[in-house]
């Protein structure tokens, strides 16, 4: 049996096209252009790639993109002052502070200094709380994109057994909240979980977000399961080059699963598409328009 490959790249292009339509309609009715500000502190090469992609795709969607690149040794007070300026700027509807931040910066302090209404990452404590309480929130982009792929494949997720591998604040925990909201029976597994393979074999939906290259083997996967691979790991090939792999052994998963997201071309492009969707949503909410159709959780 060979699993279906879930084409996140194509799905994300469709989302971005819908965002672009929404942006055009917003401009026509409101007379201003939604804007996204990205703050990048330091020179992390991986972050630079994402920031470049975000910038290009933001412009392609018809939105304004404001990039702020600061040196790695920027004092925390200067970062906080920039965030305050962006909070107050009416041209900025979304603010993303790229993580990780350098060690001398208190990341929680910076994240929570972003206005919750402009927090398109959904990392602000009030958005975390609102999601947990089932209230309208900004939803983190990677879990939102993963949820969209799952709903597209299954329609209703009600009653399905979902296992989330990883319990980070940016992926694992919000992913579990969204699956719970869609009435899955949710298990969160992590580095202390006993017999993690058996836990995973119970999953109709398996979301891997651990940051361990190809950790999830074919034998961990229930036949026919849907596997969402969030991991982005750069590994050395025997030829001394590098390549991207996920947290799932893709070839083995293809033999067992019903459907698998590839890396690259799976969840990654959905993350950026959802960032743009959240920025449009934030612009709508700022002027009292209803949320854009089909782009929220
Ligand atoms: N595609 C995308 O858009 C994005 C991809 N990513 C990628 O997703 C992956 C996860 O990211 P993130 O959540 O930030 O990572 P974190 O390092 O913050 O969290 C990793 C989680 O995995 C768990 N874990 C680590 N090792 C094991 C193990 N051997 N067995 C079981 N659980 C384990 C940890 O458990 P414990 O809590 O017990 O330590 C932790 O909860 C990374 O590869 C990252 O690059 C991240 C964001 C966006
Ligand atoms: N505040 C903040 N918000 C984030 O959402 C955030 C962050 N910080 N820090 C880093 C992680 C990682 N992340 C990715 C986004 C896009 C791809 C992506 O587009 N991947 C493509 C291409 C990957 C490549 O070729 O390098 C793919 O998987 O096909 C990957 C990873 C967002 N993150
Ligand atoms: Mg994210």
Locate the domains of the chain by residue range.
31-133+269-286, 141-268
Mutate to test the pocket of ligand 2, among 128, 268, 270, 276 (most ligand atoms within 8 A of CB): 268
ipTM of this predicted structure: 0.98
CATH tag for 31-133+269-286 (out of 3.10.20.30, 3.40.50.10860, 3.30.870.10, 3.30.70.580): 3.40.50.10860
Q: Which atom of ligand 1 is nearest to the CA of 172?
A: 13
Residue 54 designated active-site: yes
| Fold agreement between 31-133+269-286 and 141-268 | yes
Give the nearest ligand 1 atom to 215 CA: 29
- Predicted local confidence at residue 131, as pLDDT: 98
Do the annotations mark residue 168 as ligand-binding? yes
**Cβ(234) – ligand 1 distance below 6 Å:** no
pLDDT of the residue at 84: 98
Whole-number Å distance, alpha carbon 142 to ligand 3 midpoint, is 4
Is position 219 annotated in a ligand binding site?
no
Structural class in CATH, domain 141-268: alpha beta
Of 54, 173, 182, 204, the active-site residue reads 54
DSSP 170-196: TTHHHHHHHHHHTT-EEEEE-TT-TTH
Q: Which ligand is closest to the CA of 40, given by its number?
A: 2
The SS3 of residue 161 is strand
Catalytic site residue from 57, 118, 119, 121: 121
- Distance from the alpha carbon of residue 30 to the mean position of ligand 2, in angstroms: 31
Neighbours of 234 (CB within 10 A): 11
Per-residue tens of pLDDT for the chain, all 297 residues: 799 999 999 999 999 999 999 999 999 999 999 999 999 999 887 788 888 899 999 999 999 999 999 999 999 999 999 999 999 999 999 999 999 999 999 999 999 999 999 999 999 999 999 999 999 999 999 999 999 999 999 999 999 999 999 999 999 999 999 999 999 999 999 999 999 999 999 999 999 999 999 999 999 999 999 999 999 999 999 999 999 999 999 999 999 999 999 999 999 999 999 999 999 999 999 999 999 999 999
CA distances to 47, 80, 97, 183 from 69, rounded to whole Å, are 11, 14, 10, 41
Identify whether 30 is a catalytic site residue: no
Q: Which SS3 state, helix, strand or coil, does residue 104 take?
A: coil
Known binder of ligand: residue 166?
Answer: yes
């Amino acid at each position: 049996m060979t699993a279906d490959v879930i084409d996140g790249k194509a799905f994300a292009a469709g989302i971005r096209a819908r965002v672009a339509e929404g942006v055009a309609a917003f401009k026509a009715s409101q007379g201003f252009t939604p804007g996204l500000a990205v703050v990048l502190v330091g020179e992390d090469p991986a972050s630079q790639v994402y920031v470049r992609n975000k910038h290009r795709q933001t412009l392609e969607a018809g939105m304004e993109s404001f990039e702020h690149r600061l040196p790695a040794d920027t004092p925390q007070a200067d970062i906080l002052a920039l965030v305050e300026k962006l909070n107050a700027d009416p041209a900025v509807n979304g603010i993303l502070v790229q993580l990780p931040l350098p060690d001398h910066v208190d990341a929680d302090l910076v994240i929570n200094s972003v206005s919750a209404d402009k927090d398109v990452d959904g990392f602000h404590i009030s958005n975390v709380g609102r999601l947990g309480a089932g209230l309208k929130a900004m939803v983190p982009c990677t879990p939102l994109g993963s949820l969209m792929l799952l709903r597209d494949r299954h329609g209703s997720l009600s009653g399905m057994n979902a296992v989330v591998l990883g319990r980070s604040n940016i992926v694992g925990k919000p992913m579990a909240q969204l699956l719970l909201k869609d009435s899955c029976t949710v298990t969160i597994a992590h580095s202390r979980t006993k017999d993690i393979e058996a836990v995973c074999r119970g999953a109709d939906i398996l979301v891997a977000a651990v940051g361990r290259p190809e950790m999830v083997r074919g034998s961990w996967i229930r036949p026919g399961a849907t596997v969402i691979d969030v991991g982005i790991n750069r590994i050395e090939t025997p030829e001394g080059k590098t390549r991207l792999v996920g947290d799932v052994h893709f070839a083995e998963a293809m033999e067992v699963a019903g459907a698998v997201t590839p890396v690259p071309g799976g969840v990654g492009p959905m993350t950026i598409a959802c960032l743009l969707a959240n920025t449009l949503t934030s612009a709508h909410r700022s002027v009292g328009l209803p949320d854009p159709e089909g782009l929220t959780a």
